[in-house]
Amino acid sequence: MAFAYTPGLRVAAVADILKTRRLPLKGQVLVKKGDIVSADTVVARTELPGNVKMLNIANILGVPSQDIHELLHVKEGDPIEEKGVLAQSKGLFGRFFRNTVRSPITGFFETFNEITGQAVLREPPIPVQIDAYVNGVVDEILPEEGVVISTHCTFVQGIFGIGGEVRGELRTIVDSPDQEVMPDRITPECAGKILVGGSYISNATLRKAIAQGVRAVVVGGFDDKDLKELLGYDLGVAITGHEKKGITLILTEGFGRMTMAHGTFDLLKSREGMTASVNGATQIRAGVMRPEVVIPLPASMLEKVDQNHQAGAMDLGSFIRCIRAPYFGKLGKVTALPPELKVVDSEAKVRVLEVEFEEGGRAVVPRANVELIEK
């Protein structure tokens, strides 16, 4: 049977996924292929060049640039200490009224320009290391760059998120997927946890979660105006994930009060007490990147993955979400995939599908107006 392919929102009880962990610059890989790693295992490290400080020694000493070399107390490449002597004038009779240039930083004396009299001082290199992010096995080594980690897990993707990578124990704080997260549900016991909510969380409640030390919140919806207030700026179409707000927020459904899909809620609730790796990074333009919840499974839960599943493949019975009006946000099941083109309201001829909504009723919608929920 032919498949239809459409953008997918994956919600899988059991999945085998690969996570690439790459350094920003070439460095040293610390593990070998086949190694078993935990989420906090450091797999690679490197050093970023330190910040540069410019210092015009000629101007400070009041000496021509070409005469500075014989007054320097350090050579290019030498380590330097803050307030250490870099250069000193000869003074009167070699002893009196000497001008001294002292280093404003600890680091290295990188270069000196005899034409301009400028010295380049560099702070110590900045160590950078990356961890595995998830429990798993090293599947591939990227020489001097990083690794690819394979993990057997429960995998849930969201619609939108902010905040970077965090890890913590899953805790469900509502009783049903249509329930709002109320402030009294955020208690001191939530510190360090990944909280699973229902349909909505307000800005005030989210700020309480931040104050209580919650690492992440996974919830159906959040107001876009509250997002602007939280961030302090309009997000636009930028890649998220670098926000430093003290919490990672993942929306599974969208903006506003939106009931979390029952399947997603029930799956996350069934994994309560397990450790999850969460990343709010989102990109909605070319090279789509979705926020995610990854819950590595213990050996006792190593269920079989369907090897015949084709990512993005939509067939009869597939679960979908409508992503455009007039059915925006509705969930349903594909009941037919007509091969012929159909004329829609815009008078364009497009491929369509027939869907049966969870709440009842049927509709014919363009295939481009739906998103596949992979399970």
Enter the CATH code of domain 159-290.
Answer: 3.50.30
Task: State the average pLDDT for the chain.
Answer: 88
Domain boundaries, the chain: 52-122, 159-290, 315-374
The rounded distance, in Å, linking the Cα atoms of 181 and 187 is 12
pLDDT of residue 330: 83
Match domain 315-374 to its CATH number in 2.60.40.420, 2.30.30.30, 3.40.50.1980, 2.40.50.360. 2.30.30.30
- Cβ-Cβ contacts under 8 Å for 362 (sequence gap 6 or more): 335, 354, 355, 356
The band of 303, judged by pLDDT with boundaries at 50, 70 and 90, is low
Q: Are 291 and 282 in contact (CB under 8 A)?
A: yes
The band of 1, judged by pLDDT with boundaries at 50, 70 and 90, is very low
The band of 349, judged by pLDDT with boundaries at 50, 70 and 90, is confident
Lowest-confidence segment of 41-55, 180-194, 272-286 by average pLDDT: 272-286
- Mean pLDDT to the nearest integer, 345-373: 85
pLDDT of residue 42: 97
Q: How many CB atoms lie within 10 A of CB 362?
A: 11
* Choice between 14 and 323, residue whose per-residue pLDDT is larger: 14
* Residue bearing tokens 């400028």: 118
* Choice between 96 and 71, residue whose per-residue pLDDT is larger: 71
Closest CA to 158 of 249, 35, 94, 257: 249
pLDDT of residue 302: 59
Distances (CA, A) of 203 to 217, 231, 237, 248, 284: 12, 11, 21, 13, 23
pLDDT of residue 286: 59
Closest CA to 162 of 211, 212, 208, 229: 229
The partner residues of 171 in beta bridges, in order of sequence, read 195
Match domain 52-122 to its CATH number in 2.40.50, 2.40.160, 2.60.120, 2.40.128. 2.40.50
DSSP 153: E
pLDDT of residue 237: 64
pLDDT of residue 339: 83
Q: What percent of the chain has pLDDT over 90?
A: 62
The rounded distance, in Å, linking the Cα atoms of 109 and 168 is 44
Instruction: Give the H/E segment covering residue 278.
Output: strand 275-279
The partner residues of 268 in beta bridges, in order of sequence, read none
Asked if pLDDT for residue 341 goes beyond 80, the answer is yes
As a residue count, the chain comes to 375
Closest CA to 256 of 176, 175, 187, 160: 160
pLDDT tens figures, 99-155: 899 999 999 999 999 899 999 999 999 999 999 999 999 999 999 999 999 999 999
pLDDT of residue 6: 47
Label residue 295 exposed, middle or buried (CB < 10 Å: 0-12, 13-18, 19+). buried
pLDDT of residue 2: 45
